[in-house]
Structure 1
Amino acid sequence: MTIPGMLLRRAQEAPEAPLLRCAQTRRNGRQMVEAVALAGAVLREHGVQPGDRVALMAANRVELLDYILGCAWIGAVAVPINTAARGDQLHHILTNSEANLLLIEGSLVEHIGRLPSLPALDRVWVFDEPDGDLDIPYRTQPLPRADVGAEPAAVLPGDTAAILYTSGTTGVSKGVQCPQAQFYWWGINVTAQLEITAEDVLYTCLPLFHTNALNAFIQALVSGAEYVLGPRFSASRFWTDAARANATFTYLLGAMVSILTSKPASEHDRAHNIKAALAPATPAALLTEFRDRFGVVLIDGYGSTETNSIIAASRQEQRPGYMGKVQPGFTARVVNEFGLEVEPGQPGELLLRSEQPHSFATGYYAMPEATVNAWKDLWFHTGDRVVIEEDGWLRFVDRIKDVIRRRGENISSVEVEQVLRQHPSVSDVAVYAVDSELGEDEVMAAIVAKAPIDFEELTDFCGPRLASYAIPRFMMVRESLPRTENGKIRKSVLREEGAEAAQWDRDARARLQNERIAAEMLGNG
């Protein structure tokens, strides 16, 4: 139930079986242990002790994976950082984690030099050649090497292996403390849910600072499968990269599914061996279209950096619009604002517990108040609004912070987005709350269009599909939506722009029409 334990067991049981491919690197289980032990030796020889935080900031590369695992090997704590982090967010992560060593890609070094003082940071190691002079106030050198691998530390399942920072879409990023065994259970649970075998090849182009890509490696480790780590997602080359990897499973986020589906048909659409993709948060309307076009079953589910793979269903049982059922080893409640369970079919917040030891995060690093708030009553409060049906299937409604309150009604931004995406001129959309003159929420939609948008016609399209109070009052067209590196829409950015950014105001249009009608009546009189 530890990362060293899983690596050693794989090397013992299948030493020559392929385990890792990344760019030109090919490794079996035995070679993977050797590489991780060498990374651990470098850290240990340069004074890194058990419990020390080691920050890492780079795009997908084999050295990044080696050193994340190398930290766990010697009992240190890896802190992978989003490569898009800049300014205040980057400064907060490095300050909050108290890392005194940073391993970084050369092209990103300049961003460290622009930050205010980082009292804990002492040394910077560079993975490759920097894009210019290393003009930063810290001891800086190329990545050191070691000749002999380190012996693994006697780590325990509950020891912290990594601190993964949330994307900070609504506030300051929180460092999720992930124990060694949390990764083990991710591997065990998803392997069972996807029915992964030693014959499979798992391809991901998601970033290693994201729990998804790290856990895909653990799935390969515990199942006997092979893991292929690709470069950053590109819709134009995704299918050719997956085919070159001979992948049988892959990992997609909802935004990636929308982007791939929006591309013109190609000879590469089915020239691959992928049978299924783990794709949480995929719009229900795209599931059948994606399967029919690409021959890939999209598997929904629920998990988070703080928890594990808790809600799932097999490939054969997928139900569009639903995440699945609570899996063995976990307990879920759906409650109202007072903490009381709601009736089946009624929306409420999802609360979770685990019977699998050390399978959840242990809290937020150096943020005791946030930890207590999230784990109050010893249940993890997800902040997600869901519905559980009589038969146990769960449907995601919205993030509680994204629920819109208008005219005394709760409006799910997700449900409004699903309707708008059905319109042939809409490629992507984000729905969110903005302030109204009445001191309540108004509904606004930011749209990425694939054809010219007629706002009035789009409003009429929503009429038979949404309650009148849920139809967006404000709308605008954007070239793209602001996203985190993980593909999540940054609705906080859109909310800050407010209704002033709107190109359409349904109420203003109605007022103008009423004024025109009144003027015509007066004229006739």
Structure 2
Amino acid sequence: MTSEARALPPGQRALPPGQRTLPAMLQRQSERFAGRPLLRMAGRQWTHGDAAEAAAVRAGALAQAGVARGDRIAVMCGNRIEFLETFLGAGWLGASVVPVNTASMGPQIEYFLANSEAKLLVVEAGFLERLATADLGRTALRELWVVGEATASWAPPAGVRVSSYPEGGPPIAPAAVQPGDPLAILYTSGTTGPAKGVVCPHAQYFWWGVNSAEVLGVGRDDVLCTTLPLFHINALNTFAQAALTGAEVVFESRFSASGFWPSMRANGATVVYLLGAMVPILLAQPEGEGERDHRVRIGLGPGVPSAAGQAFRARTGVSLLEGYGSTETNFAIATAPDSPRGGVMGWLRPGFQARVADEGDVELPAGEAGELLLRADEPHAFASGYFNMPEKTIEAWRNLWFHTGDRVVRDADGAFRFVDRIKDAIRRRGENISSFEVEQVLLSHPGVASCAVYPVQSELAEDEVMAALVPREGERIDPAELARFCESRLPYFAVPRYIDVLPDLPRTENGKVQKFKLRERGVSEQTWDGRPAVRPPVKAA
């Protein structure tokens, strides 16, 4: 039976359907919360009233640079005020932001720019060198705004104008954007091909804020604190939660295990945001009084193992809520502080429908594992598709359901349990990794004839990247040298930790690599480990 939760959440009353846009959110918060503190980041502070003004000024600067409604603006920047200014300004203007993962190297940056057809790139000076290995002539890029002082020389290609990030332009009135208009294109790694640009409309962003705030019980007296990067929906969503509720949000530059609790205490945080692997890392730190000397009342911890979550609560007093929501969907499934049991993703939230289905989209009974399919009751609460990839859009949204690619079980009490990923994807350090992209880099090495990349479980209850390689005839592969080869061509989190050199790969009768056999084989005594101190070798889950 399809799970439904149709009672409309209270947050829907925050803005009527036609006003579920970023400009309307900013104007509403300016009117309701005015001088209340909204933001602290890298020494800068905003009130709720400042946000709308910052958006109007940044939109003016974008307009002066020739950016128009419907254009795309790429941003490759750490957790700095310039990132948020550009995001808000683009939404105010009716343009879309294309966040670029700051770990991306030249080939990935080139792909994001080319696929999104971005005309302007806002880039932190420290990342300029990455562009040297990107062929910007194959993109639509016409202008670069550099944030900070460049320390290395880099010559842009002809036709690309480079200037410092402008202070601002004359403030302009918000565009008449609609809830279904695109606000951002967020790239999520492909599983059998290149990364896909998820087109996120304004109303989806609104619903991310509404649903997350309701799950966490965020109110105007809360201080939300995150160390997660703004180029992910998780951190962008945290801003939406604060904007809709009158709360304050603090963005830290990065996650530090030793500095996490001192930072939370210094910021007066009441709500925190953690990914699965971060919790075991924190638990591995020496116990200290500071882990209880804080104001944190709750945290969001998707993907945290049940045992780790229990240990975290016993040690820190903070309950971590589980949930499910992909970049394409919304916070559709979640636990609550009073949930009857743990070890599950949670229960379906109001405003969404869920189905566990077989390969033909036929619904399965409770207790049987199948693919999780989702849809929303409210218009534009999910992404509208993949940018410039109509075939992939049709494939994912077929039969009027979004196909998550995740295998789950729905229990008799309505709780959903995660089993594994159907798609050939890897998740490490909170990042989705395309095995296809890693394989393409490995195959570009002159010594590699064929390869397969797949996940194995790490000691931190997340995926580690493993590669099985077959050398070219007469060639000898040095795994350490191959890893160094990958380091300059892949984000750090995508470089294989484990490498197996094999005479051949297991294949089907028609030559397709059987990755499930490699996953079952897992790490052996012959496997090269990029972190040899880790013992004993881990096996695939």
* Normalised-by-shorter TM-score class: 0.7 to 0.9
- 1:383 corresponds to which of 394, 397, 405: 405
More displaced 10-residue stretch of structure 1: 110-119 or 179-188: 110-119
SS in 1 for 2:97: strand
Q: What displacement does 1:339 show?
A: 1.5
Residues 76 and 403 of structure 1: CA distance in aligned 2, closer, same or farther (over 3 Å)? closer
Provide TM-score, normalisation by structure 1: 0.79
| Amino acid in structure 2 at the alignment position of 1:93 | F
| Amino acid in structure 1 at the alignment position of 2:114 | T
8 Å Cα contact 1:402-1:432 kept in structure 2: no
More displaced 10-residue stretch of structure 1: 240-249 or 146-155: 146-155
SS in 1 for 2:291: coil
- 2:65 corresponds to which of 32, 46, 53: 46
8 Å Cα contact 1:206-1:486 kept in structure 2: no
Q: Which residue of 1 aligns with 2:151?
A: 131
Residues 346 and 9 of structure 1: CA distance in aligned 2, closer, same or farther (over 3 Å)? same
Structure 2 Cα separation of the partners of residues 86 and 491 of structure 1: 12
Q: What displacement does 1:271 show?
A: 2.1
- Cα deviations by residue, 1:181-236 (Å, 9 ceiling, x for unpaired): 10101111111111111110110111111000000100001111111111111111
Structure 1 Cα separation of the partners of residues 285 and 395 of structure 2: 43
Structure 1 Cα separation of the partners of residues 262 and 37 of structure 2: 21
Structure 2 Cα separation of the partners of residues 245 and 273 of structure 1: 9
Moved over 2 A (4+): 145-148, 167-171, 401-404, 426-436, 489-506
- 1:327 corresponds to which of 346, 349, 355: 349
Residues 341 and 496 of structure 1: CA distance in aligned 2, closer, same or farther (over 3 Å)? farther
More displaced 10-residue stretch of structure 1: 205-214 or 168-177: 168-177
The percent identity for this pair of structures is 45
Q: Which residue of 2 aligns with 1:19?
A: 38
Q: Which residue of 2 aligns with 1:120?
A: 140
Alignment of 1:85-484 (within 5 A): 85-116=104-135, 117-137=137-157, 138-168=160-190, 171-317=193-339, 319-401=341-423, 417=457, 426=459, 430=463
Residues 284 and 501 of structure 1: CA distance in aligned 2, closer, same or farther (over 3 Å)? closer
Count of matched residue pairs: 445
Which blocks of at least 5 consecutive residues in structure 2 are unaligned?
1-19, 427-453, 470-482, 503-517, 528-541
8 Å Cα contact 1:134-1:140 kept in structure 2: no
Which blocks of at least 5 consecutive residues in structure 1 are unaligned?
405-412, 437-477, 507-525
Provide TM-score, normalisation by structure 2: 0.77
Q: What displacement does 1:486 show?
A: 11
Q: Which residue of 1 aligns with 2:85?
A: 66
Q: Which residue of 2 aligns with 1:36?
A: 55
Residues 230 and 433 of structure 1: CA distance in aligned 2, closer, same or farther (over 3 Å)? closer
SS in 2 for 1:317: coil
Structure 2 Cα separation of the partners of residues 228 and 356 of structure 1: 30
Q: Which residue of 2 aligns with 1:515?
A: none
8 Å Cα contact 1:99-1:120 kept in structure 2: yes
Q: What displacement does 1:430 show?
A: 3.8
Residues 388 and 244 of structure 1: CA distance in aligned 2, closer, same or farther (over 3 Å)? same
Structure 2 Cα separation of the partners of residues 12 and 496 of structure 1: 60
Q: What displacement does 1:428 show?
A: 5.1
**Structure whose alpha-carbon radius of gyration is higher:** 1
SS in 2 for 1:90: helix
SS in 2 for 1:401: coil
Residues 91 and 119 of structure 1: CA distance in aligned 2, closer, same or farther (over 3 Å)? closer
| Amino acid in structure 2 at the alignment position of 1:504 | E
Structure 1 Cα separation of the partners of residues 132 and 198 of structure 2: 26
Structure 1 Cα separation of the partners of residues 188 and 494 of structure 2: 13
Residues 385 and 496 of structure 1: CA distance in aligned 2, closer, same or farther (over 3 Å)? farther
Q: What displacement does 1:257 show?
A: 1.1
| Amino acid in structure 2 at the alignment position of 1:118 | R
| Amino acid in structure 2 at the alignment position of 1:269 | E
8 Å Cα contact 2:276-2:461 kept in structure 1: no
Structure possessing the higher relative contact order (Cα contacts under 8 Å, 6 or more residues apart): 2
Structure 1 Cα separation of the partners of residues 462 and 165 of structure 2: 43
Residues 318 and 211 of structure 1: CA distance in aligned 2, closer, same or farther (over 3 Å)? farther
Residues 97 and 403 of structure 1: CA distance in aligned 2, closer, same or farther (over 3 Å)? closer
8 Å Cα contact 1:196-1:225 kept in structure 2: yes
Alignment of 1:504 with 2:525, yes or no, is yes
8 Å Cα contact 1:262-1:427 kept in structure 2: no
Structure 2 Cα separation of the partners of residues 495 and 376 of structure 1: 37
Q: Which residue of 2 aligns with 1:461?
A: none
- 1:3 corresponds to which of 11, 22, 27: 22
Structure 2 Cα separation of the partners of residues 432 and 105 of structure 1: 28
Q: What displacement does 1:433 show?
A: 8.9
Q: What displacement does 1:392 show?
A: 0.3
| Amino acid in structure 1 at the alignment position of 2:208 | W
8 Å Cα contact 1:53-1:100 kept in structure 2: yes
Structure 2 Cα separation of the partners of residues 433 and 342 of structure 1: 33
